[in-house]
Structure 1
Amino acid sequence: MSATTTHPPTSADSADFASAAVRRLREDLALALRAAAHHGLGEGVCNHFSVELPDGSSRFLLNPRGLLWSEIQADDIVMVAADGRQLAGRHAVEPTAMFIHAAVHRIAGKACVMHTHMPQATALTLTRHRRLDTTSSQTAMRFHGRIAVDAQYNGLALDVHEGERIAHAMNSADIAFLGNHGVIVCGEQLAHAYDDLYYLERACELMVIALSTGLPLAPVDEALTARVAAQIQGERLQSTLFFEALRRTL
Protein backbone atom coordinates (compact mmCIF):
# COMPACT_ATOMS: atom_id res chain seq x y z
CA MET A 1 0.00 0.00 0.00
CA SER A 2 1.15 3.52 -0.77
CA ALA A 3 -0.37 6.20 1.40
CA THR A 4 0.51 8.90 -1.08
CA THR A 5 -0.71 7.27 -4.27
CA THR A 6 -3.15 9.40 -6.23
CA HIS A 7 -5.19 8.36 -9.25
CA PRO A 8 -7.77 10.30 -11.25
CA PRO A 9 -11.11 9.50 -9.61
CA THR A 10 -13.53 7.39 -11.60
CA SER A 11 -16.87 8.86 -12.55
CA ALA A 12 -18.51 6.55 -10.00
CA ASP A 13 -16.21 7.77 -7.22
CA SER A 14 -16.86 11.39 -8.12
CA ALA A 15 -20.61 10.83 -8.24
CA ASP A 16 -20.62 9.06 -4.89
CA PHE A 17 -18.47 11.76 -3.29
CA ALA A 18 -20.91 14.44 -4.47
CA SER A 19 -24.05 12.50 -3.46
CA ALA A 20 -26.35 13.83 -0.75
CA ALA A 21 -25.66 10.87 1.55
CA VAL A 22 -21.87 11.23 1.35
CA ARG A 23 -22.15 15.01 1.63
CA ARG A 24 -23.96 14.50 4.94
CA LEU A 25 -21.21 12.15 6.13
CA ARG A 26 -18.58 14.73 5.13
CA GLU A 27 -20.46 17.40 7.07
CA ASP A 28 -20.67 15.17 10.14
CA LEU A 29 -16.99 14.25 9.96
CA ALA A 30 -16.02 17.91 9.65
CA LEU A 31 -18.28 18.73 12.60
CA ALA A 32 -16.63 16.05 14.75
CA LEU A 33 -13.21 17.48 13.92
CA ARG A 34 -14.24 21.06 14.74
CA ALA A 35 -15.83 19.85 17.97
CA ALA A 36 -12.62 18.06 18.93
CA ALA A 37 -10.68 21.28 18.33
CA HIS A 38 -13.22 23.19 20.41
CA HIS A 39 -12.79 20.71 23.27
CA GLY A 40 -8.97 20.81 23.15
CA LEU A 41 -8.50 17.30 21.79
CA GLY A 42 -6.39 18.19 18.75
CA GLU A 43 -2.63 18.52 18.31
CA GLY A 44 -1.38 20.89 15.63
CA VAL A 45 -2.34 19.57 12.19
CA CYS A 46 -1.77 15.96 13.31
CA ASN A 47 -4.19 13.13 14.13
CA HIS A 48 -7.14 11.93 12.10
CA PHE A 49 -10.80 10.94 12.06
CA SER A 50 -12.33 8.67 9.43
CA VAL A 51 -15.68 7.10 8.60
CA GLU A 52 -16.48 4.34 6.12
CA LEU A 53 -19.02 4.79 3.37
CA PRO A 54 -21.98 2.56 4.30
CA ASP A 55 -22.06 0.74 0.96
CA GLY A 56 -19.58 -2.07 1.64
CA SER A 57 -17.03 -0.65 -0.81
CA SER A 58 -14.27 -0.27 1.82
CA ARG A 59 -13.91 3.39 0.84
CA PHE A 60 -13.73 5.90 3.65
CA LEU A 61 -13.69 9.62 4.34
CA LEU A 62 -10.73 11.19 6.11
CA ASN A 63 -9.54 14.63 7.17
CA PRO A 64 -6.72 15.92 4.94
CA ARG A 65 -3.12 16.75 5.64
CA GLY A 66 -2.13 20.22 6.77
CA LEU A 67 -5.40 21.71 8.04
CA LEU A 68 -6.26 22.58 11.62
CA TRP A 69 -9.31 20.71 12.83
CA SER A 70 -10.92 24.03 13.71
CA GLU A 71 -10.96 25.12 10.05
CA ILE A 72 -12.14 21.92 8.40
CA GLN A 73 -15.40 22.04 6.44
CA ALA A 74 -17.18 19.36 4.42
CA ASP A 75 -15.42 20.43 1.20
CA ASP A 76 -12.02 19.74 2.80
CA ILE A 77 -12.74 16.07 3.51
CA VAL A 78 -11.12 13.51 1.19
CA MET A 79 -12.26 10.05 0.09
CA VAL A 80 -9.76 7.19 -0.04
CA ALA A 81 -9.69 3.51 -0.86
CA ALA A 82 -8.47 0.85 1.54
CA ASP A 83 -5.38 0.28 -0.62
CA GLY A 84 -4.20 3.89 -0.24
CA ARG A 85 -5.58 5.46 -3.39
CA GLN A 86 -7.02 8.92 -3.00
CA LEU A 87 -10.33 8.87 -4.83
CA ALA A 88 -11.70 12.37 -4.30
CA GLY A 89 -10.91 15.61 -2.53
CA ARG A 90 -8.77 18.66 -3.09
CA HIS A 91 -6.16 18.07 -0.38
CA ALA A 92 -3.38 15.53 0.20
CA VAL A 93 -3.50 12.63 2.67
CA GLU A 94 -1.03 12.21 5.54
CA PRO A 95 0.77 8.81 5.38
CA THR A 96 0.30 7.66 8.98
CA ALA A 97 -3.41 8.39 8.67
CA MET A 98 -3.77 5.95 5.80
CA PHE A 99 -1.73 3.21 7.43
CA ILE A 100 -3.57 3.36 10.77
CA HIS A 101 -7.10 4.04 9.58
CA ALA A 102 -7.15 1.67 6.61
CA ALA A 103 -5.97 -1.17 8.85
CA VAL A 104 -8.43 -0.46 11.67
CA HIS A 105 -11.36 -0.24 9.25
CA ARG A 106 -10.33 -3.44 7.48
CA ILE A 107 -9.01 -5.64 10.29
CA ALA A 108 -10.91 -4.41 13.35
CA GLY A 109 -14.10 -3.87 11.34
CA LYS A 110 -14.83 -0.38 12.66
CA ALA A 111 -17.05 2.10 10.80
CA CYS A 112 -15.76 5.25 12.53
CA VAL A 113 -12.15 5.62 13.69
CA MET A 114 -10.86 8.57 15.72
CA HIS A 115 -7.16 8.73 16.54
CA THR A 116 -5.91 11.50 18.84
CA HIS A 117 -3.05 12.45 21.12
CA MET A 118 -5.50 14.19 23.47
CA PRO A 119 -3.54 15.13 26.60
CA GLN A 120 -5.21 13.41 29.54
CA ALA A 121 -5.74 10.06 27.82
CA THR A 122 -2.25 10.17 26.32
CA ALA A 123 -0.81 10.93 29.77
CA LEU A 124 -2.21 7.62 31.01
CA THR A 125 -0.53 5.76 28.12
CA LEU A 126 2.78 6.89 29.62
CA THR A 127 2.11 5.12 32.93
CA ARG A 128 2.90 1.55 33.90
CA HIS A 129 -0.76 0.49 33.53
CA ARG A 130 -1.03 2.33 30.19
CA ARG A 131 -4.78 2.92 30.47
CA LEU A 132 -7.84 4.32 32.21
CA ASP A 133 -9.08 2.42 35.26
CA THR A 134 -12.74 1.89 34.34
CA THR A 135 -13.69 1.33 37.98
CA SER A 136 -12.44 4.78 39.00
CA SER A 137 -15.42 7.04 38.21
CA GLN A 138 -18.94 6.91 36.82
CA THR A 139 -17.66 8.58 33.65
CA ALA A 140 -14.99 5.89 33.29
CA MET A 141 -17.48 3.05 33.82
CA ARG A 142 -19.04 3.57 30.38
CA PHE A 143 -15.80 2.15 28.93
CA HIS A 144 -15.70 -0.98 31.07
CA GLY A 145 -14.97 -4.06 28.97
CA ARG A 146 -14.39 -1.96 25.85
CA ILE A 147 -10.67 -1.11 26.15
CA ALA A 148 -7.59 -2.77 24.66
CA VAL A 149 -4.00 -1.79 25.42
CA ASP A 150 -1.19 -1.81 22.88
CA ALA A 151 1.81 -1.41 25.15
CA GLN A 152 4.36 -1.92 22.35
CA TYR A 153 5.31 1.53 21.10
CA ASN A 154 7.00 0.93 17.76
CA GLY A 155 7.68 4.39 16.32
CA LEU A 156 5.68 6.28 13.68
CA ALA A 157 3.15 4.25 11.71
CA LEU A 158 4.86 4.76 8.37
CA ASP A 159 4.25 1.35 6.84
CA VAL A 160 1.39 -1.04 6.37
CA HIS A 161 2.78 -3.53 8.90
CA GLU A 162 2.64 -1.05 11.78
CA GLY A 163 -0.93 -0.09 10.96
CA GLU A 164 -1.90 -3.75 10.86
CA ARG A 165 -0.06 -4.45 14.12
CA ILE A 166 -2.06 -1.72 15.86
CA ALA A 167 -5.34 -2.98 14.37
CA HIS A 168 -4.66 -6.55 15.52
CA ALA A 169 -3.71 -5.31 19.01
CA MET A 170 -7.17 -3.74 19.31
CA ASN A 171 -8.67 -7.25 19.24
CA SER A 172 -12.08 -5.80 18.22
CA ALA A 173 -12.18 -3.38 21.19
CA ASP A 174 -13.88 -0.01 20.73
CA ILE A 175 -11.05 1.89 22.39
CA ALA A 176 -7.30 1.32 22.27
CA PHE A 177 -4.70 2.94 24.50
CA LEU A 178 -1.47 3.03 22.48
CA GLY A 179 1.52 2.98 24.80
CA ASN A 180 3.60 6.20 24.74
CA HIS A 181 1.48 7.43 21.85
CA GLY A 182 -2.25 8.22 22.11
CA VAL A 183 -5.66 6.60 21.75
CA ILE A 184 -8.03 5.25 19.13
CA VAL A 185 -11.79 5.49 19.67
CA CYS A 186 -14.17 3.66 17.34
CA GLY A 187 -17.91 3.50 16.86
CA GLU A 188 -20.67 2.48 14.47
CA GLN A 189 -21.67 6.09 13.85
CA LEU A 190 -19.95 9.44 14.25
CA ALA A 191 -22.23 10.77 16.99
CA HIS A 192 -21.52 7.76 19.20
CA ALA A 193 -17.79 7.73 18.48
CA TYR A 194 -17.42 11.44 19.22
CA ASP A 195 -19.42 11.16 22.43
CA ASP A 196 -17.10 8.36 23.58
CA LEU A 197 -14.02 10.36 22.58
CA TYR A 198 -15.16 13.38 24.57
CA TYR A 199 -16.08 11.41 27.68
CA LEU A 200 -12.95 9.27 27.50
CA GLU A 201 -10.84 12.39 27.83
CA ARG A 202 -13.04 13.63 30.70
CA ALA A 203 -12.70 10.29 32.51
CA CYS A 204 -8.93 10.31 32.01
CA GLU A 205 -8.75 13.89 33.26
CA LEU A 206 -10.54 12.90 36.47
CA MET A 207 -8.14 10.01 36.97
CA VAL A 208 -5.06 12.16 36.31
CA ILE A 209 -6.31 14.76 38.83
CA ALA A 210 -7.09 12.07 41.42
CA LEU A 211 -3.64 10.50 40.99
CA SER A 212 -2.00 13.90 41.32
CA THR A 213 -3.29 14.20 44.89
CA GLY A 214 -1.07 11.28 45.93
CA LEU A 215 -4.03 9.67 47.68
CA PRO A 216 -4.99 6.07 46.81
CA LEU A 217 -7.91 5.60 44.40
CA ALA A 218 -11.15 4.12 45.73
CA PRO A 219 -12.43 1.91 42.90
CA VAL A 220 -15.99 0.63 42.58
CA ASP A 221 -16.46 -3.16 42.60
CA GLU A 222 -16.48 -5.02 39.29
CA ALA A 223 -20.15 -6.07 39.34
CA LEU A 224 -21.44 -2.54 39.90
CA THR A 225 -19.05 -1.17 37.29
CA ALA A 226 -20.34 -3.67 34.72
CA ARG A 227 -23.96 -2.78 35.55
CA VAL A 228 -23.35 0.94 35.09
CA ALA A 229 -21.52 0.27 31.81
CA ALA A 230 -24.50 -1.69 30.51
CA GLN A 231 -26.90 1.07 31.57
CA ILE A 232 -24.93 3.73 29.69
CA GLN A 233 -24.35 1.64 26.56
CA GLY A 234 -27.97 0.52 26.48
CA GLU A 235 -29.24 4.01 25.67
CA ARG A 236 -27.28 6.21 23.25
CA LEU A 237 -29.85 8.97 22.67
CA GLN A 238 -27.69 11.26 24.80
CA SER A 239 -24.85 10.81 22.30
CA THR A 240 -27.05 11.93 19.41
CA LEU A 241 -28.40 14.89 21.38
CA PHE A 242 -24.85 15.99 22.23
CA PHE A 243 -23.76 15.80 18.59
CA GLU A 244 -26.79 17.78 17.43
CA ALA A 245 -26.11 20.40 20.11
CA LEU A 246 -22.59 20.72 18.73
CA ARG A 247 -24.04 21.10 15.23
CA ARG A 248 -26.19 24.02 16.43
CA THR A 249 -23.42 25.79 18.30
CA LEU A 250 -20.22 25.28 16.31
Structure 2
Amino acid sequence: MALSIEEQARIDLAATFRIVAHLGMHEAVANHFSAAVSADGKQFLINPKWKHFSRIRASDLLLLNADDSACAAHPEVDATAWSIHGQIHQRLPHARAVLHLHPVYTTAVACLAKPEVLPVDQNTARYFNRVAVDEMYGGMADTEAEGARLAGLLDGKRRLLMGNHGVMVIAPDIGEAFDDIWTLERACQILVTAWSTGQPLRVLSDEVAEKTAKGWEKITDFSRRHFEEMKQLMIDVDPSLLD
Protein backbone atom coordinates (compact mmCIF):
# COMPACT_ATOMS: atom_id res chain seq x y z
CA MET A 1 0.00 0.00 0.00
CA ALA A 2 1.31 3.44 -0.94
CA LEU A 3 2.44 5.70 1.87
CA SER A 4 0.70 9.01 2.50
CA ILE A 5 2.57 12.26 1.85
CA GLU A 6 3.19 12.68 5.56
CA GLU A 7 4.35 9.09 6.08
CA GLN A 8 6.82 9.32 3.21
CA ALA A 9 8.07 12.72 4.39
CA ARG A 10 8.62 11.34 7.88
CA ILE A 11 10.80 8.54 6.55
CA ASP A 12 12.73 10.77 4.16
CA LEU A 13 13.33 13.48 6.74
CA ALA A 14 14.39 10.99 9.42
CA ALA A 15 16.81 9.48 6.91
CA THR A 16 18.23 12.93 6.16
CA PHE A 17 19.07 13.46 9.83
CA ARG A 18 20.79 10.07 9.98
CA ILE A 19 22.74 10.74 6.77
CA VAL A 20 23.95 14.15 7.96
CA ALA A 21 25.04 12.64 11.29
CA HIS A 22 26.85 9.86 9.40
CA LEU A 23 28.68 12.49 7.32
CA GLY A 24 29.68 14.49 10.41
CA MET A 25 27.87 17.64 9.29
CA HIS A 26 25.68 18.00 12.41
CA GLU A 27 26.02 20.51 15.25
CA ALA A 28 25.68 18.44 18.44
CA VAL A 29 21.92 18.51 19.23
CA ALA A 30 21.26 21.81 17.45
CA ASN A 31 20.11 22.74 13.91
CA HIS A 32 16.83 21.80 12.27
CA PHE A 33 15.37 20.29 9.11
CA SER A 34 11.72 20.59 8.12
CA ALA A 35 9.45 19.33 5.36
CA ALA A 36 6.04 20.61 4.25
CA VAL A 37 3.26 18.03 4.07
CA SER A 38 0.27 20.18 3.05
CA ALA A 39 -0.43 21.73 -0.34
CA ASP A 40 -0.05 25.26 1.02
CA GLY A 41 3.21 24.33 2.75
CA LYS A 42 2.03 25.51 6.16
CA GLN A 43 1.80 22.11 7.84
CA PHE A 44 5.31 20.85 8.26
CA LEU A 45 7.42 18.26 10.06
CA ILE A 46 10.46 19.25 12.12
CA ASN A 47 12.85 17.61 14.56
CA PRO A 48 12.16 17.87 18.30
CA LYS A 49 14.27 20.02 20.56
CA TRP A 50 17.75 18.75 21.36
CA LYS A 51 17.56 15.23 19.97
CA HIS A 52 20.70 14.01 18.23
CA PHE A 53 20.36 13.58 14.48
CA SER A 54 21.72 10.02 14.64
CA ARG A 55 18.81 8.88 16.84
CA ILE A 56 15.85 10.49 15.08
CA ARG A 57 13.05 8.18 13.93
CA ALA A 58 10.14 8.94 11.63
CA SER A 59 7.75 9.00 14.59
CA ASP A 60 9.88 11.52 16.51
CA LEU A 61 9.17 14.34 14.07
CA LEU A 62 6.74 17.02 15.19
CA LEU A 63 3.83 18.08 12.98
CA LEU A 64 3.35 21.85 13.24
CA ASN A 65 1.16 24.46 11.57
CA ALA A 66 2.88 27.69 10.56
CA ASP A 67 -0.36 29.62 11.13
CA ASP A 68 -0.81 28.33 14.68
CA SER A 69 1.26 30.44 17.08
CA ALA A 70 0.44 28.02 19.89
CA CYS A 71 2.99 25.65 18.35
CA ALA A 72 5.74 27.92 19.66
CA ALA A 73 4.80 26.96 23.23
CA HIS A 74 5.15 23.21 22.63
CA PRO A 75 7.86 21.96 25.04
CA GLU A 76 9.67 20.08 22.26
CA VAL A 77 9.74 23.01 19.83
CA ASP A 78 12.96 25.00 19.85
CA ALA A 79 12.40 28.76 19.65
CA THR A 80 14.86 29.24 16.79
CA ALA A 81 13.28 26.35 14.86
CA TRP A 82 9.83 27.91 15.08
CA SER A 83 11.11 31.40 14.28
CA ILE A 84 13.00 30.35 11.15
CA HIS A 85 11.18 27.32 9.76
CA GLY A 86 7.73 28.50 10.75
CA GLN A 87 8.18 31.74 8.82
CA ILE A 88 9.69 30.07 5.77
CA HIS A 89 6.86 27.54 5.53
CA GLN A 90 4.31 30.29 6.05
CA ARG A 91 5.75 32.58 3.38
CA LEU A 92 7.36 30.25 0.80
CA PRO A 93 4.96 27.42 -0.14
CA HIS A 94 7.41 26.11 -2.75
CA ALA A 95 9.92 25.36 0.03
CA ARG A 96 8.92 21.75 0.56
CA ALA A 97 12.18 21.00 2.37
CA VAL A 98 14.18 23.43 4.51
CA LEU A 99 17.60 22.41 5.84
CA HIS A 100 19.66 24.58 8.19
CA LEU A 101 23.17 23.55 9.24
CA HIS A 102 26.48 24.88 10.53
CA PRO A 103 28.85 22.61 8.56
CA VAL A 104 32.54 23.44 9.00
CA TYR A 105 33.61 24.49 5.51
CA THR A 106 30.44 26.29 4.43
CA THR A 107 30.36 28.15 7.74
CA ALA A 108 34.05 29.05 7.33
CA VAL A 109 33.27 30.65 3.96
CA ALA A 110 30.29 32.41 5.57
CA CYS A 111 32.68 33.97 8.10
CA LEU A 112 34.79 35.73 5.49
CA ALA A 113 34.59 39.50 5.07
CA LYS A 114 33.17 38.78 1.62
CA PRO A 115 31.22 35.48 1.81
CA GLU A 116 31.33 34.03 -1.70
CA VAL A 117 31.52 30.62 -3.37
CA LEU A 118 33.95 31.26 -6.20
CA PRO A 119 33.57 28.94 -9.23
CA VAL A 120 36.87 27.07 -9.27
CA ASP A 121 35.61 23.58 -10.12
CA GLN A 122 32.46 21.69 -11.08
CA ASN A 123 31.03 21.65 -7.54
CA THR A 124 31.61 25.31 -6.78
CA ALA A 125 30.31 26.31 -10.23
CA ARG A 126 26.98 24.72 -9.32
CA TYR A 127 26.36 27.79 -7.14
CA PHE A 128 27.45 30.51 -9.55
CA ASN A 129 25.10 33.49 -9.04
CA ARG A 130 22.74 31.15 -7.20
CA VAL A 131 23.45 31.83 -3.53
CA ALA A 132 21.88 34.60 -1.46
CA VAL A 133 24.10 36.08 1.25
CA ASP A 134 23.04 37.40 4.64
CA GLU A 135 25.56 39.75 6.23
CA MET A 136 23.32 40.94 9.10
CA TYR A 137 23.88 38.29 11.77
CA GLY A 138 22.59 39.61 15.08
CA GLY A 139 22.62 36.63 17.44
CA MET A 140 20.21 33.74 17.91
CA ALA A 141 17.34 33.86 15.41
CA ASP A 142 14.58 33.52 17.99
CA THR A 143 11.98 35.99 16.75
CA GLU A 144 9.40 35.70 13.98
CA ALA A 145 10.66 39.00 12.57
CA GLU A 146 14.09 37.48 12.05
CA GLY A 147 12.55 34.39 10.45
CA ALA A 148 10.55 36.61 8.10
CA ARG A 149 13.72 38.49 7.16
CA LEU A 150 15.52 35.25 6.30
CA ALA A 151 12.52 34.04 4.30
CA GLY A 152 12.68 37.27 2.31
CA LEU A 153 16.32 36.62 1.42
CA LEU A 154 15.36 33.19 0.08
CA ASP A 155 12.63 34.55 -2.17
CA GLY A 156 13.97 33.75 -5.64
CA LYS A 157 16.96 31.78 -4.30
CA ARG A 158 17.34 28.24 -2.99
CA ARG A 159 20.52 28.67 -0.94
CA LEU A 160 21.36 31.20 1.73
CA LEU A 161 24.93 31.67 2.94
CA MET A 162 24.33 33.01 6.43
CA GLY A 163 27.21 35.31 7.34
CA ASN A 164 28.90 34.44 10.68
CA HIS A 165 26.35 31.67 11.11
CA GLY A 166 25.90 28.79 8.66
CA VAL A 167 23.76 27.85 5.68
CA MET A 168 20.12 27.36 4.69
CA VAL A 169 18.87 25.38 1.70
CA ILE A 170 15.31 25.08 0.42
CA ALA A 171 14.11 22.74 -2.33
CA PRO A 172 10.99 21.22 -3.87
CA ASP A 173 11.75 17.85 -2.26
CA ILE A 174 13.92 16.37 0.47
CA GLY A 175 16.24 14.51 -1.90
CA GLU A 176 17.23 17.63 -3.80
CA ALA A 177 17.68 19.57 -0.58
CA PHE A 178 20.02 16.96 0.90
CA ASP A 179 22.18 16.68 -2.20
CA ASP A 180 22.35 20.45 -2.43
CA ILE A 181 23.53 21.08 1.11
CA TRP A 182 26.01 18.19 0.85
CA THR A 183 27.43 19.44 -2.44
CA LEU A 184 27.63 22.99 -1.10
CA GLU A 185 29.70 21.78 1.86
CA ARG A 186 31.86 19.77 -0.55
CA ALA A 187 32.28 22.86 -2.75
CA CYS A 188 33.36 24.98 0.22
CA GLN A 189 35.79 22.26 1.32
CA ILE A 190 37.42 22.38 -2.11
CA LEU A 191 37.51 26.18 -2.06
CA VAL A 192 38.98 26.46 1.44
CA THR A 193 41.58 23.80 0.61
CA ALA A 194 42.56 25.66 -2.56
CA TRP A 195 42.86 28.93 -0.61
CA SER A 196 45.01 27.20 2.02
CA THR A 197 47.77 26.53 -0.53
CA GLY A 198 48.45 30.26 -0.73
CA GLN A 199 48.56 29.99 -4.51
CA PRO A 200 46.38 32.09 -6.84
CA LEU A 201 43.04 30.50 -7.73
CA ARG A 202 42.17 29.71 -11.33
CA VAL A 203 38.58 30.98 -11.31
CA LEU A 204 36.34 29.79 -14.13
CA SER A 205 35.03 32.34 -16.59
CA ASP A 206 31.47 33.55 -16.07
CA GLU A 207 30.47 31.78 -19.28
CA VAL A 208 31.81 28.39 -18.21
CA ALA A 209 30.53 28.78 -14.64
CA GLU A 210 27.01 29.62 -15.86
CA LYS A 211 27.06 26.70 -18.33
CA THR A 212 28.11 24.35 -15.53
CA ALA A 213 25.43 25.65 -13.14
CA LYS A 214 22.76 25.13 -15.80
CA GLY A 215 24.09 21.63 -16.38
CA TRP A 216 23.57 20.83 -12.70
CA GLU A 217 20.01 22.14 -12.89
CA LYS A 218 19.22 19.59 -15.61
CA ILE A 219 20.11 16.56 -13.48
CA THR A 220 17.86 16.80 -10.44
CA ASP A 221 17.33 13.04 -10.86
CA PHE A 222 21.01 12.66 -9.88
CA SER A 223 20.29 14.51 -6.63
CA ARG A 224 17.25 12.41 -5.82
CA ARG A 225 19.08 9.17 -6.61
CA HIS A 226 22.01 10.21 -4.42
CA PHE A 227 19.57 10.71 -1.58
CA GLU A 228 17.78 7.39 -2.17
CA GLU A 229 21.09 5.52 -2.11
CA MET A 230 22.15 7.22 1.11
CA LYS A 231 18.72 6.63 2.65
CA GLN A 232 18.94 2.92 1.94
CA LEU A 233 22.40 2.78 3.48
CA MET A 234 21.02 4.30 6.67
CA ILE A 235 18.06 1.90 6.74
CA ASP A 236 20.42 -1.05 6.27
CA VAL A 237 22.59 0.12 9.17
CA ASP A 238 19.68 0.88 11.53
CA PRO A 239 16.06 0.25 10.46
CA SER A 240 14.80 2.06 13.59
CA LEU A 241 14.65 5.29 11.58
CA LEU A 242 11.49 3.84 9.98
CA ASP A 243 9.74 3.49 13.36
Partner of 1:51: helix, strand, or coil?
strand
Match of 1:119 in 2: 104
Do structure 1's residue 131 and structure 2's residue 103 form an aligned pair? no
Q: Which runs of 5+ in 2 are unaligned?
A: 235-243
Q: Which runs of 5+ in 1 are unaligned?
A: 1-18
Could you state the TM-score of these two structures normalised by the residue count of structure 2? 0.89
Residues in 1 aligned to 2:166 and 2:92: alpha-carbon distance in whole angstroms: 18
Partner of 1:215: helix, strand, or coil?
coil
1:62 aligned residue (38, 46, 52): 46
Partner of 2:201: helix, strand, or coil?
coil
Residues in 1 aligned to 2:103 and 2:59: alpha-carbon distance in whole angstroms: 25
**Greater RCO (Cα-Cα under 8 Å, separation 6 or more):** 2
Do structure 1's residue 220 and structure 2's residue 208 form an aligned pair? no
Do structure 1's residue 35 and structure 2's residue 19 form an aligned pair? yes
Partner of 1:46: helix, strand, or coil?
coil
1:130 alignment partner AA: P
Partner of 1:66: helix, strand, or coil?
coil
Partner of 2:191: helix, strand, or coil?
helix
1:117 alignment partner AA: H
Match of 1:9 in 2: none
8 Å contact from structure 1 (residues 149, 170) kept in 2: no
Could you state the TM-score of these two structures normalised by the residue count of structure 1? 0.87
Shift in CA distance, 85/136, structure 1 to aligned 2, threshold 3 Å: farther
Match of 1:20 in 2: 4
Match of 1:101 in 2: 85
Do structure 1's residue 173 and structure 2's residue 161 form an aligned pair? no
Deviation readout 1:97-150 (Å, 9 max, x if unpaired): 1101112223344221100001100001110111322x1211111122320000
Residues in 2 aligned to 1:232 and 1:57: alpha-carbon distance in whole angstroms: 26
8 Å contact from structure 1 (residues 78, 86) kept in 2: no
Structure 1 moving runs of 4+ over 3 Å: 83-87
2:129 aligned residue (142, 145, 151): 145
